């Protein structure tokens, strides 16, 4: 994996990832981005799951984790917190100060609203298929005046050409193609994450 100089790029560090529909790839994107921040940039990274699905918790059953405890585990140098209301305890607040924190919200917009004051950016994820009906939600969420934090959108598992031929979207989202290994982001993914997370 290509490794960049640590802290060479000033990045958003409190990151929420929300799907506009089921199976949009939120967990996959969360893992890719966590690996980018940890493996490429050398940041300490914590990943939280607020989707209610416990998908991240299952990782410890399929991979050899370096550390494991009641509320989480460490994998590929990334800390995963998986149990309890971690967004309200002291460990969570300390992680916000000292680490990059990514929150996998699944499709739970209500959870985003509950912790919006603790986020720097929300990334909306969707796929370019008409049956998902992502246009209306994307417009509503992107223009929601209750959330003044930075917002952006990523069309997952798509190409720029397919995006122009698909949905009529209210904004121009970033595009991410197929990423077969979520612990080894491609050069395309690295460039995308750098552009999305960079603080101008």
Tens-digit pLDDT profile for residues 142-156: 888 777 789 999 999
Which spans in the chain are helix H? 26-35, 59-62, 90-98, 109-114, 134-142, 160-164, 187-197
DSSP character for 75? E
pLDDT digits (tens, 9 = 90+) for 133-182: 788 888 888 888 777 789 999 999 888 877 766 666 767 889 999 899 98
**84 domain residue, yes or no:** yes
Query: For 28-50, what is the mean pLDDT?
Result: 94
CATH code at position 59: 3.40.50.300
Domains held by the chain: number: 1
pLDDT at 139: 82
**4 domain residue, yes or no:** no
**160 domain residue, yes or no:** yes
Indicate if the pLDDT at residue 5 is higher than 50: no
Q: How confident is the model at residue 17 (pLDDT cuts 50, 70, 90)?
A: very high
Helix, strand, coil share (%) of the chain residues, nearest 5: 35, 25, 40
Reported pTM: 0.87
- Give, rounded to a whole angstrom, the gap between the first and last alpha carbons of the chain: 25
Q: How confident is the model at residue 130 (pLDDT cuts 50, 70, 90)?
A: confident
Helix axis angle, 187-197 to 26-35, nearest 10°: 90
Cβ neighbours of residue 93 closer than 8 Å, sequence gap 6 or more: none
**63 domain residue, yes or no:** yes
**177 domain residue, yes or no:** yes
Tokens standing for 24? 């949009």
**67 domain residue, yes or no:** yes
**179 domain residue, yes or no:** yes
Q: Please tell me the distance from the alpha carbon of residue 6 to that of residue 89, in angstroms, as a whole number.
A: 28
Tokens standing for 175? 């595009």
pLDDT at 29: 96
Least confident of 6-15, 22-31, 147-156: 6-15
pLDDT at 85: 54
Tokens standing for 45? 């990274």
Query: For 18-31, what is the mean pLDDT?
Result: 94
Q: What are phi and psi of 137, to 5 degrees?
A: -65, -40
**2 domain residue, yes or no:** no
CA distances from 89 to 41, 92, 96, 104, 173 (A): 27, 6, 11, 18, 34
pLDDT digits (tens, 9 = 90+) for 64-114: 888 998 889 999 999 999 865 555 555 555 545 678 999 999 999 999 999
The CA radius of gyration of the chain, in Å to the nearest whole number, is: 16
Going by C-alpha positions, the residue among 32, 49, 38 that lies closest to residue 193 is 32
Range of the domain at 70: 14-197
């Amino acid at each position: 994996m290509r490794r960049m100089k640590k802290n060479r790029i000033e990045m958003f560090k409190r990151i929420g990832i929300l799907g506009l529909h089921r199976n949009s790839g939120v967990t996959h994107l969360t893992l890719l981005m966590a690996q980018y921040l940890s493996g490429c940039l050398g940041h300490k990274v914590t990943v939280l799951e607020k989707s209610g699905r416990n998908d991240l918790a299952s990782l410890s059953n399929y991979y050899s984790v370096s550390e494991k405890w009641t509320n989480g585990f460490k994998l590929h140098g990334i800390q995963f917190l998986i149990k309890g209301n971690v967004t309200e305890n002291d460990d969570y607040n300390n992680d916000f100060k000292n680490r990059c924190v990514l929150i996998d919200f699944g499709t739970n917009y209500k959870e985003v609203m509950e912790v919006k004051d603790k986020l720097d950016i929300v990334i909306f994820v969707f796929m370019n298929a008409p049956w998902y009906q992502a246009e209306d939600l994307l417009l509503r969420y992107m223009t929601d005046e209750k959330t003044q934090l930075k917002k952006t959108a990523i069309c997952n598992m798509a190409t720029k050409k397919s995006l122009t031929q698909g949905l009529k979207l209210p904004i121009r989202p970033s595009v991410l193609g197929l990423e077969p290994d979520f612990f080894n982001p491609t050069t395309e993914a690295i460039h995308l994450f750098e552009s999305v997370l960079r603080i101008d």
